[in-house]
Amino acid sequence: MLTHLALCSIPNPKKVLLVGGGDGGILREISRHSSVEHIDICEIDKMVIDAYKKFFPDIAVGYEDPRVHVHIRDGIAFTNSVPEGTYDVIIVDAFQPMGPIAEVLADNCFLESVAKALRPGGVLSAPADSLWHKNFVVADTIANCKKIFKGSVNYAWTTVPTYASGVIGFMLCSTEGPPVNFKHPINKLNPEKNGVAKGPPKFYNPEIHAAAFCLPSFVDKVVDPIRY
Amino acid sequence: MLTHLALCSIPNPKKVLLVGGGDGGILREISRHSSVEHIDICEIDKMVIDAYKKFFPDIAVGYEDPRVHVHIRDGIAFTNSVPEGTYDVIIVDAFQPMGPIAEVLADNCFLESVAKALRPGGVLSAPADSLWHKNFVVADTIANCKKIFKGSVNYAWTTVPTYASGVIGFMLCSTEGPPVNFKHPINKLNPEKNGVAKGPPKFYNPEIHAAAFCLPSFVDKVVDPIRY
C-alpha cells in the first residue's frame, strides 16, 4: 500500500527514492511499475539487507530489479545531498527503533529536505500512526506536513493485523506543482507486468486504494475540519 | 456499522428485528432512522439488559426509544414464530459463547427462518469472521448464505481494534425481490435526527459505508471469483 498509494497517483513516475525499507519488499512493489527508470534505496544498516536476502528471499527479491541502486548511508544525509527536484516519488520507511511512527514526520528538517528533493508535484509516502492511537496524534503530523508540502496532504489507512490496533496509517503529500488527486489513482497496475515479483499483488487494488482515504467521522473531523 | 450497512441500503425501512444485542447499542443506532416504526429486540438473557442499563447508560440508552419492544426469548424460536415477510431488516448480533462468529451463519435452519421473516427484498445484517482469519473461512459462510438468500450476498469489513486481527466482517444479504445495492447507500443519516442517541455517529458515514465493501485482492478472489 505504502508504495502504490504514491506511484499509482501520478502519471509515469520515473525516479524513485526509498529511505529505509532494507528488507526489499517495497523495492519488489516499486518493480511492478514499468514507467520507473531509476530506484535509489538508502538503507543505513547493511545487515538488514543481508539478513533478508539470506532468510526471506521472497521479500528481498526486490534487489534483483536492475533499476535498483543501493546506498548504505544515513537517509537524512543522502536526501540532503541530492540535487533539488530529483525525484518523482520518495517513500520513507524509516522508524526510530520502537518509537512512535510519527517521530520521523515531526522532523521538519528531514521533511524539508524531502520536499526539496522532489520535483514540483512530486509525492511523499510515509507510514503514519493508527487512527485508533490515543488522542489521534496524527492531527499534529498532518498540521506539520501542511507547513512544508504546499500541494496536497492526505491521511489514509488500512488493516495490518500485526500493527497495534490492527491499523496502519499513511501520509501522502505532494509538493507545489501539478495537482495530485491521491484518492483516485490514475495509474492502474498491469496484472501482466510484475517486475521481479512472482505474481500480481495479493492485497492492493484500485478499490482498496480509494477506500484507504475513507475515514471514520471522528478522524475526518480532524483531517478535514472545514467540512464540519 | 452493523446497523447502518443494512438500514441505509433500503428505502424507508419500517419494521426491524434485532436478534441478540441486549446491550442496547444497536437499538440506539436503529433509533437514528426516523422511517422506522417498530423495533423488536429478542434477547435471551435479561441480565445483559439489566447490567447495561445499570453500568453503561450511554449504550443502553437505546431502550429509551418508544418504538422498541423487548422480547426475552430464544432468537431462533422467536424468528420462527413471526408471520412470513414481517420485517424490512433483521440484524443478528448473537454469538456462540466464545465460538467463531461464523457458527450462527452456518445454521441453515436459522438462516432460512430469517429469510422467511423478511419481506421480499428485505435485508439481513450479521457479523462475520475477519478477512485475516486463517484460510478465510468466510468463503464457507458466503457459499451458505447464497443458498438461502436469492437477492444479493455481500461481505464487508471494518476496523475494530478490540477484535482479533483488528478487523470485523459483516454479511449483508437480501431476499429475492426489489434489488438492494448495499455498496451505494440510498438512505443518508440526517445529522440533525439522532433518535435517543446524544449526537451524530462517531464512526459511520456514507464514505466508510462504501469503503467497507472494498476488499483486498486475496479476499475479493474468494468473494467474487467470477471477476478473476
A41 or B225, greater pLDDT? A41
And the C-alpha cell for B77?
424460536
Supply the ipTM of this predicted assembly: 0.91
Given its phi and psi angles, is residue B72 left (phi above 0), alpha (psi -120 to 50 degrees) or beta? Answer: beta
pLDDT number for residue A50: 98
Match 533478508 to its residue by C-alpha cell: A52
Rounded to the nearest integer, the mean pLDDT of chain B is 92
B110 or A67, greater pLDDT? A67
Q: What's the count of helices (H) and strands (E) in chain B, helices before strands?
A: 10, 7
Which of B207, B213, B228 would best serve as a mutation to test chain A binding (most A beta carbons within 10 A)?
Answer: B207
Residue numbers of A between 117 and 136 with CB closer than 8 Å to B: 130-132
Task: Kindly state which CATH superfamily the domain B1-223 is placed in.
Answer: Vaccinia Virus protein VP39 (3.40.50.150)
pLDDT at residue B17 above 70? yes
pLDDT number for residue A98: 44
pLDDT number for residue B95: 67
**CA dihedral over B134, B135, B136, B138, signed as positive or negative:** negative
The average pLDDT across A25-34 equals: 98
Q: Are B218 and B225 in contact (CB under 8 A)?
A: no
pLDDT number for residue B136: 73
The residues near B134 (Cβ < 8 Å, ≥ 6 apart) are none
pLDDT-derived band at B98 (thresholds 50, 70, 90) equals very low
pLDDT number for residue B151: 96
The residues near A91 (Cβ < 8 Å, ≥ 6 apart) are A2, A3, A6, A16, A17, A18, A19, A21, A26, A30, A124, A125, A126
For A128-152, what is each residue's pLDDT tens digit? Answer: 889 998 777 788 888 889 999 999 9
For residue B176, CA distances in Å to B89, B151, B155 come to 14, 4, 18
User: Which pTM was predicted?
Assistant: 0.93
Question: In what helix (H) or strand (E) does residue B157 lie, and over which residues does it extend?
Answer: strand B153-159
Give the residues across from A154 on adjacent strands. A172
Phi, psi for residue A18 in degrees, rounded to 5: -115, 120
Q: Measured between alpha carbons, how far is B168 from B158 in angstroms, rounded to an integer?
A: 6
Question: In what helix (H) or strand (E) does residue B158 lie, and over which residues does it extend?
Answer: strand B153-159
pLDDT-derived band at A97 (thresholds 50, 70, 90) equals very low
pLDDT at residue B228 above 80? no
**Residue A215: count of CB within 10 angstroms of its CB:** 22
For residue A201, CA distances in Å to A43, A168, A185, A191, A196 come to 24, 18, 16, 8, 12
Q: Measured between alpha carbons, how far is A188 from A200 in angstroms, rounded to an integer?
A: 12
- Residue among B93, B107, B220, B224 flagged as catalytic: B93
pLDDT number for residue B96: 56
pLDDT-derived band at B109 (thresholds 50, 70, 90) equals confident
pLDDT at residue B97 above 70? no
Give the minimum alpha-carbon distance from B196 to chain A in angstroms, rounded to a whole number. Answer: 19
B70 reaches A (C-beta below 8 A): no
For B117-173, what is each residue's pLDDT tens digit? Answer: 999 999 999 998 899 987 777 888 888 899 999 999 999 999 999 988 999 999 999
Q: Measured between alpha carbons, how far is B212 from B210 in angstroms, rounded to an integer?
A: 5
Q: Measured between alpha carbons, how far is B215 from B112 in angstroms, rounded to an integer?
A: 27
Per-domain residue ranges of chain B: 1-223
pLDDT at residue B183 above 90? yes
Q: Which residue in chain B has the smallest CA separation from A221?
A: B202
- B204 contacts in A (CB within 8 Å)? 216-217
Phi, psi for residue A125 in degrees, rounded to 5: -125, 130
Rounded to the nearest integer, the mean pLDDT of chain A is 92
| Terminal alpha carbon distance of chain B | 29
Cα A59 from chain centre: 17
The verdict on a CB contact (< 8 Å) between A207 and B214 is yes
